[in-house]
Amino acid sequence: MPNELPASIREAGDLLRAGRLTSLDLVEACLARIERFDARVRAWVMVDADGARAQARRLDDELHKGGPRHPLHGIPIGIKDIIDVEGWPTLAGSRLRAGHVARQDAPIVRRLRAAGAVILGKTVTTEFASFDPPPTRNPWNLERTPAGSSSGSAAAVALGMCMAAVGSQTGGSITRPAGYCGVAGCKPTYGLVSLSGIVSLAYHMDHPGPIAPRVSDLAIMLASMAGYEPLDPFSVDVPVPDYAAGLERAAPPRLGLMTGFFRDAASDEVRAVVAASIERLRAAGATVEEMPPPASFADVIVNHRRIMGIEAAEYHRANFPARRSEYGPQLASLLDEALATSVLDYAAALKHKEQFTRDLEALAGRYDALVTPATTTTAPTPETTGDPRFNAPFSYANCPTVCFPCGVARDGLPVGLQLIGRHWGEGPLLAVSAWCERAIGFAARPPLVAECDT
């Protein structure tokens, strides 16, 4: 059954435990899709087919003898190529990293392996998780971008080249690719998932998180990725609940639909699909109240870029501007801008970040979740990776977000909803998101996938 793939990790797990499917079957199905699509989509930097088969065989054997380790047991996943996997290069989309080989797994990879995930390969990232367009194309339309920076992770999941992938977000790099590619994504609270062994873009706002077909898959992935790492100074010691176990939520949620910029900057297509989704949520019993972002939102976009640029420039100071020509034009321009920024503006931006975070937290506390479109538009043509401005505010505020597809726009491209929660509220946020995903009842598949089913 190499060409069939269960629709979710949970479904795959049921089949694996029932002996109706093996991890090797899943790996072969993913490899077949990579074989079939990746020359066109270019989601992968490297695929370790033989290694994945060997991992799958061991995990099948272990499952047979002692049962599953975790709901991820035997599930093939991709790892964004800014994250260290032992023995593999971490190229981060940059020629500056040529020759790099990771000495050990990043803690999140170690955690995923320990949960029984099969590490299939590395997915394409934009250069240093920034904005210069990657080679990857959108599975829904090869003339469109999958977005960045977790370009390969989102495209691979959308095509069933893996059942989930690790991405990361500093601006909009999980939610935007997930939105453009019609899959789900979660950017957790800053500090929940360790940054160790991951190439940094901006250390105050870097958030690794999962990309997967469905919200329930995000819960399974996140429960495995999250957890305190004492050697990572940014990791926070908080309890990690079993997010997947908490997904069944009885009561319809109370949602705060953000207006102002989050309505005005959306394209007509996106607005129409989101409006229809909100109607479905209301029809299913949700309370949806419209409310503007906090007043401090006004300075968020400028300050977010300022902090991102300066922290990136600090990370790259050994190479930039000395090796300027080896940087992509957009990243180079961000770094140039940063180097010309006053230290006082950075101090003020970090202070403002705390103010906005507090203001957003107060607003979020009035609802089960805040809601916005996942992206301003559907996927644009691939000269850019698209507009992160619906996502960057929540990277800036370090709060958790979940997105999932809610419809297809008139242009045939998927549209997503973004739900925003309070710090450390991943559990309730995933539960509300799963409720909304069920209420909207949209199951998105890129047209390309149909090739596999014939």
* Site mask for its own copies (CB under 8 A), range 362-391, x = bound: x-----------------------------
Query: Taking the complex as a whole, how short is the minimal distance between the CB of residue 364 and its own copies, in angstroms?
Result: 13
* Site mask for its own copies (CB under 8 A), range 193-232, x = bound: ----------x--------------------------x-x
* SS3 of residue 47 by DSSP: strand
Query: Taking the complex as a whole, how short is the minimal distance between the CB of residue 227 and its own copies, in angstroms?
Result: 16
Mark whether 80 is an active-site residue. Answer: yes
Among 149, 150, 151, 395, the active-site one is 149
Among 131, 346, 424, 435, binds its own copies (CB under 8 A): 346
Contact 385, 152 (CB under 8 A): no
Alpha carbons 228 and 191: distance in angstroms, whole number:
8
Alpha carbons 167 and 171: distance in angstroms, whole number:
12
The one segment of 9-17, 108-116, 356-364, 401-409 that binds its own copies by CB under 8 A:
356-364
Q: Count other C-beta atoms under 10 Å from residue 234's C-beta.
A: 15
Mark whether 149 is an active-site residue. Answer: yes
The one segment of 114-122, 171-179, 239-247, 346-354 that binds its own copies by CB under 8 A:
346-354
Among 311, 368, 426, 437, binds its own copies (CB under 8 A): 311
Among 8, 23, 80, 224, the active-site one is 80
Among 143, 342, 383, 454, binds its own copies (CB under 8 A): 342
The residues with which 79 forms a beta bridge, in sequence order, are 122, 166
Q: Which of 345, 358, 372, 369 is nearest to 425 (CA)?
A: 369
Mark whether 151 is an active-site residue. Answer: no
Q: Which is nearer to its own copies, 62 or 359 (CB)?
A: 359
CA 184 to chain centre: 8
Q: What's the sign of the alpha-carbon dihedral 96, 302, 190, 310?
A: positive
Contact 23, 56 (CB under 8 A): yes
Q: How is 158-211 classified by DSSP, letter by letter?
A: HTTSSSEEEEEESSSTTHHHHHHHT-EEEE--TTSS--TTB--S-TTT-EEEEE
* Residue 338 lies near its own copies (rule: CB under 8 A): yes
Task: Give the binding site for its own copies (CB under 8 A).
Answer: 203, 230, 232-234, 310-311, 313-314, 317, 338-339, 341-344, 346-348, 350-351, 354-355, 357-358, 362
Which residues does the annotation mark as catalytic?
A: 80, 149, 173
